[in-house]
Amino acid sequence: MSYQTRSSLSFSSRELIDLAIAWVTLSVAFAILLSGGSAIGGIDPAALVRMTLLSLVTVGVGFLSHELAHKVVAIRFGQVAEFKADYGMLFVALMSALVGFLFAAPGAVHHRGRITLRENGLIALAGPLTNQALAAVFFALYMAPATLGGPPLVGEIGRLGVWINLFLAAFNMLPWGPLDGTTVKRWNTSVFVLVFVPSLLAALYVMFVGV
């Protein structure tokens, strides 16, 4: 089988649908978790709607940027790349949120073509590094109301964006199954440790201490 060696950044209609469904589903899952709802304790509809709107922004930026980073780097290395949603895992994300934790593996950018171990590792690394960078951007938004007198909503979006992006960075760097951490660790253990450990510590700090 011959593979296309060069590609451009384009999206099929199927890919756009998959991205949209994964974005909305993941946002709702985060909203359920962060609004304190559960299948046992019940869900406050007003809190859920509000958190869903906030999650659509913050999860949207984090998730879409993560997948776009994978795709851009894959294309840079001559791959044919396309995001495909995993509808089974999207269902798992919703169900896990209802019982008080979140397993977020909504799909992946699948790429094909000739590639080295290093290039494959860099493609995998691009997503978590993008989330780390976004966490810094959202932290600036979080600080904006205090330093510049901006609206409190900006600070809330910033706080939520920091947590979500640190979570996405740490979760995806886990060296398990199809997650990015497995590919990065297979390529270079030192790089894996240098990215995974700070991501995990930062995510745990924000989770248990706060921004």
Give the tens place of pLDDT for each residue, 64-92. 999 999 999 999 999 999 999 999 999 99
What's the whole-number mean pLDDT along residues 21-46?
Answer: 80
Angle at 52 between CA 47 and CA 57, to 5 degrees: 135
Q: What is the pTM of this model?
A: 0.88
Across 22-162, the runs of DSSP E, i.e. the strands, are 80-85, 107-112
Which residues of the chain form beta strands (DSSP E)?
80-85, 107-112
Which residues does the annotation mark as catalytic? 67
Compute the half-sphere exposure of residue 102: CA atoms within 13 Å on the CB side of its CA: 24
pLDDT tens per residue, range 123-181: 999 999 999 999 999 999 898 876 666 667 888 899 999 999 999 999 999 999 889 99
Neighbours of 119 (CB within 10 A): 19
pLDDT of amino acid 144: 80
Dihedral sign of CA atoms 77, 80, 86, 87 in order: positive
**Angle value at C-alpha 134, between 51 and 161, nearest 5 degrees:** 15
Contacts of residues 191-195 at CB distance under 8 Å and 24 or more positions apart, as own/partner, are 191/121, 191/125, 195/125, 195/128, 195/129, 195/132, 195/169
Maximal CA-CA distance, the chain: 59
Q: Residue ranges of the domains in the chain?
A: 13-208
* Integer angstrom CA distances of residue 121 from 43, 45, 125, 186: 40, 42, 6, 8
